[in-house]
Amino acid sequence: MAEEVTYADLKFNTLEQNKEEEFQETITSESPSVSHHWRPAAVILGMVCLGLLGAAATMGFKVMQASQRVSNQNENLTLQKEMLETLFTKLNVLQAQNLNLSETVQRLSYYRGLQCSPCPERWQQRGEKCYFFSAKWNSWEESKAQCTTLNSRLLKIESKEELEFILASAQAYNSYWIGLFRSRAGGPWSWEDNSTLVTDLFNIPDVGSSNYPICVSIQGGNLIASDCLGYRFCICEKVTDPANPGHH
């Protein structure tokens, strides 16, 4: 009986040992195959990880560059804004200075016109002559007397330039006596200083036969011959007097 148990135990132990050896052989035989399959996968996985790390590093570098560019652009915009504000401030200052300068020039021109003109107030200067356009209606003789009281005479037109100045300065709708007249029909035209009209600057319309004096007025660029008793404005003239202290 004891021998049977011992035999059975030995047999069982032998079977267990055999199974264990078979299992170890199986593991041993399978291990190179498992190792052979996992090694390429590990290499690929490592390469993928390295690629991802590289891509992440590149992306991070690009993000850093973009952030730096944005920061630089913001700084440039800030500087440009400050420069524009400074320029606008300077522009406002210059405009104010220009306005003050313009006002000063106008005041100086006004005072110069009052104090330095060789012509009296309300007279217009051209060259060496002063001209006065009267706003009072008179006959030709009364206009002549008015000019005399102003130390002047009725207008005597002596050049084309002077005629153009008179036409440009006179009110087109007003009629002004000038110093041209004739004492009888068919007689010569004479100026107030008794000099004869010898210029071809203008033509005087024929008024027909008349036994009374005819005087000439100017209106809107036209010369008009009419009765000297009619009422018109007048134009007086005199030579400038730069030495007169009352006009400086």
Question: Is residue 62 a part of any domain in this protein?
Answer: yes
Domain boundary among 59, 93, 116: 116
Examine the pLDDT at 77 and tell me if it is beyond 90.
no
pLDDT band at 13 (very low <50, low <70, confident <90, very high): low
Question: Is residue 12 a part of any domain in this protein?
Answer: yes
Clarify whether residues 80 and 151 are in a common domain. no
What is residue 72's DSSP assignment?
Answer: H
pLDDT at 1: 45
Clarify whether residues 98 and 139 are in a common domain. no
Domain boundary among 85, 116, 147: 116
pLDDT at 47: 83
Clarify whether residues 6 and 94 are in a common domain. yes
Question: Is residue 230 a part of any domain in this protein?
Answer: yes
The Cα–Cα gap between 123 and 244 comes to 15
CATH number at residue 164: 3.10.100.10
Question: Is residue 246 a part of any domain in this protein?
Answer: no
pLDDT at 116: 63
For the chain, helix, strand, coil in percent to 5 are 55, 15, 30
Contacts of 173 (CB under 8 A, 6+ apart): 219, 220
The region, left, alpha or beta by phi > 0 then psi within -120 to 50, assigned to residue 220 is left
Most confident of 6-15, 44-53, 121-130: 121-130
Examine the pLDDT at 25 and tell me if it is beyond 70.
no
Question: Is residue 247 a part of any domain in this protein?
Answer: no
For the chain, the C-alpha Rg in angstroms (whole number) is: 60
Clarify whether residues 172 and 84 are in a common domain. no
Instruction: Return the higher-pLDDT residue of 117 and 147.
Output: 147
Instruction: Return the higher-pLDDT residue of 203 and 88.
Output: 203
Domain boundary among 93, 116, 139: 116
Indicate the number of domains in the chain: 2
Examine the pLDDT at 243 and tell me if it is beyond 80.
no
Prediction pTM value: 0.52
pLDDT at 38: 63
pLDDT > 70 fraction of the chain, expressed in percent and rounded: 75
What average pLDDT does this structure show over 175-186? 90
Lowest mean pLDDT among 21-35, 75-89, 157-171: 21-35
Question: What average pLDDT does the structure give for the chain?
Answer: 80
Instruction: Return the higher-pLDDT residue of 117 and 24.
Output: 117
The Cα–Cα gap between 87 and 100 comes to 20
For 165-207, give the DSSP string.
Answer: HHHHHS-TTS-EEEEEEESSTTPPPEETTS-B----S------
Residue 141: domain span: 124-241
Examine the pLDDT at 239 and tell me if it is beyond 90.
yes
Examine the pLDDT at 73 and tell me if it is beyond 60.
yes
Clarify whether residues 195 and 105 are in a common domain. no
Instruction: Return the higher-pLDDT residue of 244 and 199.
Output: 199
Clarify whether residues 236 and 194 are in a common domain. yes
pLDDT at 201: 79
What is residue 116's DSSP assignment?
Answer: S
Examine the pLDDT at 19 and tell me if it is beyond 50.
yes
Question: Is residue 248 a part of any domain in this protein?
Answer: no
Examine the pLDDT at 216 and tell me if it is beyond 90.
yes
